[in-house]
Amino acid sequence: MRTPRLLRDTLALRLALTTLATILVIVLIGTAFTLLNSNLARPPLEHTGLLNEVSVGLRMLDAAPPERRPELADAAGNGDHFVTWFPFLPEPQAGTPIPPGAEPSIDELRNMVGDPKRDVRVFHTRALSPNSPLLYHDGHHLPDPRIAAIQLHDGSWAVFTVGERNWGLTRPERRVIFIAIAILSIILVSFASTRLLARPIERFTGAAERFGRDPKAAPIAETGPAELRRAARAFNGMQASVQRFIEDRTQMVAAISHDLRTPITRLRLRAEFVEDEEQRDRMLGDLDQMAEMIEATLAFARDDAASEPPTSLDLPSLLESMVDEAADAGHEASYAGPAHRIFQGRPVALRRAFGNLVDNAIKYGETVEIALADTGDGCKVTIADRGPGIAATDRERVFAPFVRLEGSRNRDTGGTGLGLSIARSIIRGHGGEIRLENRPEGGLRVMVDLPG
């Protein structure tokens, strides 16, 4: 049975679930904050101890003569509430009578004063006039007050004005806290959700980068939303096709190389019978060069170093060993840079790549200056010589196989024209890049950027 289209694991479904989760978090936070605000920030009267104070104040006012009641009412108040005595109730029409049984805290107060039928009225501040005496006490005004008027035995009224009960924060402060918590929660939920969405894309990107460095890399796992699974299948199919193409090319070049060795060997034997020594030497030299080109071509096509496992190596030690070898051969060579820099790579391949660059510098510039610098996210190797340099129009062309420039870079210097091609292939196989530029003081500078 096929899964309905709307329930398939797609990017659209994941985005919808992310939006739904965000909305759900906002609703839950709003509900929790409302409960917190009503139960903790505004606790019931019976939990505040205020009813006991009110009952004591009522007994005291009932027992006191009318002329002393204003003074006693003032003394009964504190910072959280104040008490006012009125001979007649101001704005009685704005008060809501509380019948018995309608409000547990009021019923408890009535029981505490021993009068279950005591007349109690509650005033809503919005129903009062702005200058109502019920809102003020000696010019003071409590924020968001709750007002209750309780009738005394002689018909006068004691009005208790209670400010907003809270956890020590004002309403604007609580709103700011709520908004901050909501924003933070939305950010966390959105970040977690987008990470889940981005993880398959990151895996896909990593597989593409690995394939760019190593055509023999393992295929990507076909996981994630339906769109990415289809893309992964297409990518794996493309990778398999490229790998088959490379294998076919390598086998073809190996077969050609093998077939050419036999006629070259026969030609070498025939050349030995040439009586003219000068012609014989030239023929043997050409045959040696052909054999060298065939071996270099085969190695370039096979890319033997690509199968070498990466390992940790000390890059300065590798470069300094090349400087020492060049100096031992009588060439001017130097190294500048850190004494130690661990790099994760293929040692044999890197030695081959940097060896080709150093050989070119010695052949065409007579000297070689190697420098290593740590760039924070990788390292940069510079190999400079004092040769004639390369024209800007040729700096990309020299990386093509079998390309050798005229002038000092000709056949007389030896080589097959594959040195730079092999070097760039190895450097790119490590995720790096290689560039050429002429030095202002003369000579060529080869810059190799390596990640990690």
Whole-Å CA distances, 239 to 81, 207, 235, 309: 79, 10, 6, 20
Please name which of 449, 293, 315 lies closest in space to residue 382, comparing C-alpha atoms: 449
Check pLDDT > 60 for residue 2.
no
My answer on whether 362 and 447 are in the same domain is yes
Contact in structure between 118 and 55 (CB atoms under 8 Å): no
Contact in structure between 124 and 94 (CB atoms under 8 Å): yes
Contact in structure between 159 and 84 (CB atoms under 8 Å): yes
User: Is 89 part of a structural domain of the chain?
Assistant: yes
Task: Identify which has the larger pLDDT, 83 or 446.
Answer: 446
* Domain around 283: 226-302
Check pLDDT > 70 for residue 348.
yes
CATH number for position 268: 1.10.287.130
Please name which of 254, 256, 355, 237 lies closest in space to residue 304, comparing C-alpha atoms: 254
**pLDDT one-digit tens code per residue, 264-322:** 888 888 888 888 888 888 888 888 878 877 777 766 666 554 567 888 999 999 999 99
Residues 6+ apart with CB under 8 A from 201: 224, 228
My answer on whether 361 and 426 are in the same domain is yes
Distance CA 452, CA 449 (A): 10
Distance of CA 103 to the CA centre of its chain: 55
My answer on whether 262 and 292 are in the same domain is yes
User: Is 276 part of a structural domain of the chain?
Assistant: yes
Provide the whole-model pTM. Answer: 0.51
Confidence of residue 39 (pLDDT cuts 50, 70, 90): low
Lowest mean pLDDT among 69-83, 148-162, 207-221: 207-221
> Helices 171-213 and 226-271 meet at what angle, rounded to 10?
30
Check pLDDT > 60 for residue 61.
yes
Number of domains, the chain: 4
**pLDDT one-digit tens code per residue, 134-184:** 887 776 776 667 788 888 988 899 888 876 655 555 667 777 877 887 788
Bridge partner list, 160: 83, 148
My answer on whether 434 and 312 are in the same domain is yes
CATH number for position 336: 3.30.565.10
**pLDDT number for residue 164:** 63
Please name which of 60, 88, 63 lies closest in space to residue 74, comparing C-alpha atoms: 60
Phi, psi of 154 (to 5 degrees): -90, 10
User: Is 213 part of a structural domain of the chain?
Assistant: no
Confidence of residue 94 (pLDDT cuts 50, 70, 90): confident
DSSP label of 48? T
**pLDDT number for residue 166:** 52
DSSP state string for 127-187 = GS-TT-TTS-BTTB--SS-EEEEEE-TTS-EEEEEEPPP-SS--HHHHHHHHHHHHHHHHH
My answer on whether 15 and 144 are in the same domain is no
- What are the structure tokens assigned to 247, written together? 């294998």
Distance CA 370, CA 445 (A): 10
Confidence of residue 36 (pLDDT cuts 50, 70, 90): low
My answer on whether 293 and 340 are in the same domain is no
Lowest mean pLDDT among 42-56, 215-229, 431-445: 42-56
User: Is 191 part of a structural domain of the chain?
Assistant: yes
**pLDDT one-digit tens code per residue, 360-415:** 899 888 889 999 999 888 899 999 998 888 888 888 888 887 777 654 444 455 55
My answer on whether 127 and 191 are in the same domain is no
Residues 6+ apart with CB under 8 A from 221: 203, 232
User: Is 36 part of a structural domain of the chain?
Assistant: yes
Contact in structure between 421 and 300 (CB atoms under 8 Å): yes
Confidence of residue 45 (pLDDT cuts 50, 70, 90): low
> Does residue 379 come out as left (phi exceeding 0), alpha (psi in the -120 to 50 range) or beta?
beta
**pLDDT number for residue 49:** 58
Check pLDDT > 80 for residue 248.
no
**pLDDT number for residue 446:** 94
User: Is 217 part of a structural domain of the chain?
Assistant: no
Measure CA of the first residue to CA of the last residue in the chain; give whole Å.
Answer: 49
When the pLDDT of each residue in the chain is averaged and rounded to a whole number, the result is 79
Distance CA 20, CA 22 (A): 5
Mean per-residue pLDDT for 101-125?
79
* Percent of the chain whose predicted confidence (pLDDT) is above 90: 13
User: Is 110 part of a structural domain of the chain?
Assistant: yes
